[in-house]
A and B are shown apart, each in its own frame.
Chain A
Amino acid sequence: MESVSIRDVSLSFGAVHVLEKLNLDVREGEFLVLLGPSGCGKSTLLNCIAGLLDVSDGQIFIKDRNVTWEQPKDRGIGMVFQSYALYPQMTVEGNLSFGLKNQRLPGDDIRARIDRASKILQIEPLLNRKPAQLSGGQRQRVAIGRALVRDVDVFLFDEPLSNLDAKLRSELRVEIKRLHQKLDNTMIYVTHDQIEALTLADRIAVMKGGVIQQLDEPLTIYNRPRNLFVAGFIGSPAMNFLAGAVVKSGHGHAFRAGGHEIALDGYEPDTAIVEAPDALLGVRPEHVEINREAGANGAVSFPATVDLEEPMGADSLVWISLGDQTLSARVESSRRFRRGDTVHVCFNIPMASLFDAKSEIRM
């Protein structure tokens, strides 16, 4: 059963089209992340699902009920905002009970729900405090609690961790994942942070220009990006792109760049490898191997020069020049390289992605 279905939804402000005929099905109990750069329409889509924005065209279903014209309060959704949006003049308890009082629930029911939510989120000692007396992490927990008490079908998160510092962010990320495992609710989560997306999501929808570019499981998105945009957007440090051409070579195909010919044996195509005069080979830094000696692991390698080394703790990023193109390789930080060193590069082709430069689609 679909928990949330979006059918051909469009939204435009005057001449600006923010969403274009967008379709999306969110499964029951799924954690779906909407990921994209700012201005891609991900928050707008979330606001449309919440009913805070009216769509220009299309339909929205929640639990098989058409809610396109319903008020936010009648949609069975709870929302958590980036700025927490706690009511400053009310205590934590007042914040949690505000929605319930609007529903005119009986007092002991309200009590019971607040008890349950504050136990789950461990905010019981804070119930009598004002939001100004809470830390950022506590505030966001209260904001989640406000959705929790209302017993909603779908949780909507609008960049909930963006206002927190790095340490707190990773802590709360784990807590949100735990919460999802405990509650089993459908959650839709908007973020521009790919680490959040990769760690939290059951499925990720990568968006750009109001269109979903790819909807898949995190590792599929990471390993087999459908197009050039997804490949470049996901992954930090970013994927390397080598410009060249796909040519026939012996019984298979090869990628030719700057006089080198890289055999494409073992490549996992989406459709099929075809010859292309303009193509891009995308290889993640961890799939670029560099060695001091040629043929160290029996693979065909190409000579290159080291430009720069960036130690990142557990591993280092080594920037190298291969012909007139620059690449980065991820190596263990115990291996040290200096500027000007000559190294031999080989690529992990089964983990690489090949794009047609014109269509930008993965082969």
Chain B
Amino acid sequence: MSNPGSLNIAAASLDAVKDRIDGGPRGPRPRKRISRRNIFIYGTLLVVAIYYLVPLYVMLVTSLKGMPEIRLGNIFSPPVEITFQPWVKAWAEACTGLNCDGLSRGFWNSVRITIPSVVLSIAVASVNGYALANWRFRGADVFFTILIFGAFIPYQVMLYPIVIILREMGLYGSLWGLVLVHTIFGMPILTLLFRNYFTSLPEELFKAARVDGAGFWSIYFRIMLPMSLPIFVVAMILQVTGIWNDFLFGVIYTKPDTYPMTVQLNNIVNSVQGVKEYNVNMAATLLTGVVPLVIYFISGKLFVRGIAAGAVKG
């Protein structure tokens, strides 16, 4: 208080500092909604999305039109008169060869092929992967190398030998023959998938379970399986879509009675007799694609999580 003059000077300089602080930027940095960068990113995304969606749109509207409307040629215009007749025909009435019961026969064949193939291949591959990752038996590396090498042999080389093997086993032309083929061909990639996942789980868990007296199957079912839901979902999606969309094995190892849906679709779309019924073809194609589409929608999130799954915290 003895020197009020110096006190005033101090107060003045404090004000100057305060001004500088208050006047300057504060809080989150403002971002421009419309910048050159954003226009480029969203523009590209939009173009790509349209590029993929337009064919789907054309298929959908065409499948809902009658033939006279299609002949007008405006493939992008929405249907004037919506009809579900092409869908009914594709599902239940379209003719392939001698049968005239549409895609329904192929659909049920595909279901009867896909379910056992998926279950069987995942069951065997997960145990394979578990054994390779955790029970380092003698020759494990050699076995694994051979298995992975199998994935690189071209299918064409194996097609005919497998025909002979199936014939000798009495399975040629049956659904179970095709199930067997799918199970075997799914093995390399699935085993790799499971082995890598089980390797990423902490090894000490496995050791702890062994000290606790759990055996091969006990550790598999009670320790490993409950921790592995994401990778099982990934394997399931891979197999369901792969087997459902398979055409080559289906056309080679089955007979017309047991053709899977994809083969039947081809026979409907590519039939050379009579008029080309574009609306029926579109409906049939959409019907065939429904199953993988539904699988993706239901389990998309789990799929990403499974692919990204690395370490699991205990």
Q: Which residue numbers of A lie inside 8 Å of B, CB to CB?
A: 47, 50, 52, 71-73, 77-79, 81-89, 98-99, 102-103, 131-132, 139, 143, 146, 150, 158
Contacts and interface: CB of A to CB of B under 8 A. Distances in A.
A73 B216 CA distance: 13
Per DSSP, chain A at the interface is: mixed
B205 A50 contact: no
11 contacts: A50-B207, A71-B210, A72-B211, A79-B208, A81-B208, A88-B314, A98-B212, A99-B212, A99-B213, A102-B212, A102-B218
Contact of B212 (A131, A132, A146, A158): A146
A88 B312 contact: yes
B204 A87 contact: no
Given A102-B218, A131-B314, A85 B210 contact: no
B205 A99 contact: no
Contacts of B189: none
Given A84-B314, A89-B226, A131-B314, A146 B213 contact: no
8 nearest A-B residue pairs (beta carbon) = A73-B213, A99-B212, A102-B213, A85-B204, A85-B208, A89-B226, A81-B204, A72-B211
A52 B314 contact: no
Nearest to A84: B314
Interface in B178-219: 202, 204-205, 207-214, 218
Given A85-B202, A98-B222, A99-B213, 19 more contacts: A52-B210, A73-B212, A79-B207, A81-B208, A83-B314, A84-B204, A85-B314, A86-B208, A86-B314, A87-B209, A88-B312, A88-B314, A89-B227, A98-B212, A98-B214, A99-B212, A102-B213, A131-B314, A139-B314
Nearest to A86: B314
A99 B212 CA distance: 4
A85 B207 CA distance: 8
Nearest to B312: A88
Given A89-B226, A132-B313, A103 B213 contact: yes
B45 interface: no
B138 to A, nearest CB: 11
Given A86-B314, A88-B314, A89-B226, A81 B212 contact: no
Contacts of B222: 98
A243 B223 CA distance: 57
Contacts of B202: 83, 85
Contacts of A79: 207-208, 211
Interface in B209-254: 209-214, 218, 222-223, 226-227
Contacts of B312: 88
Per DSSP, chain B at the interface is: helix
A77 B211 contact: yes
Contacts of A143: 208
A85 B314 CA distance: 7
A83 B218 contact: no
A38 B210 CA distance: 24
Contact of B210 (A73, A89, A132): A73
From B207, B208, B209, B223, residue with most partner A Cβ within 10 Å: B208
Contacts of A50: 207, 211
Nearest to A104: B213
B110 to A, nearest CB: 35
A77 B208 CA distance: 11
B305 to A, nearest CB: 16
A88 B227 contact: yes
Contact of B205 (A52, A72, A82, A87): A87
A83 B312 CA distance: 12
Nearest to A139: B314
A77 B312 CA distance: 27
Contacts of A82: 204
A73 B214 CA distance: 8
Nearest to B208: A85
Interface in B289-303: none
A131 B218 CA distance: 20
Nearest to B229: A89
A79 B227 CA distance: 22
Interface in B62-104: none
Contacts of B210: 52, 71-73
B208 A146 contact: yes
A132 B313 CA distance: 8
Contacts of B213: 72-73, 99, 102-103
Nearest to B205: A85
A230 B227 CA distance: 43
B58 to A, nearest CB: 48
Nearest to A152: B211
A134 B211 CA distance: 23
A213 B219 CA distance: 38
B31 to A, nearest CB: 36
A229 B155 CA distance: 61
B211 to A, nearest CB: 5
Nearest to A158: B204
A87 B211 contact: no
Contacts of B205: 85, 87
A73 B205 CA distance: 15
Nearest to B202: A83
A210 B256 CA distance: 68
B230 to A, nearest CB: 13
From B209, B212, B223, B312, residue with most partner A Cβ within 10 Å: B212
Given A86-B314, A88-B312, A81 B226 contact: no
A52 B207 contact: yes
Contact of A81 (B207, B218, B313): B207
A143 B211 CA distance: 12
Nearest to A79: B211
A92 to B, nearest CB: 12
A158 B207 CA distance: 12
B134 to A, nearest CB: 12
Contacts of A71: 210
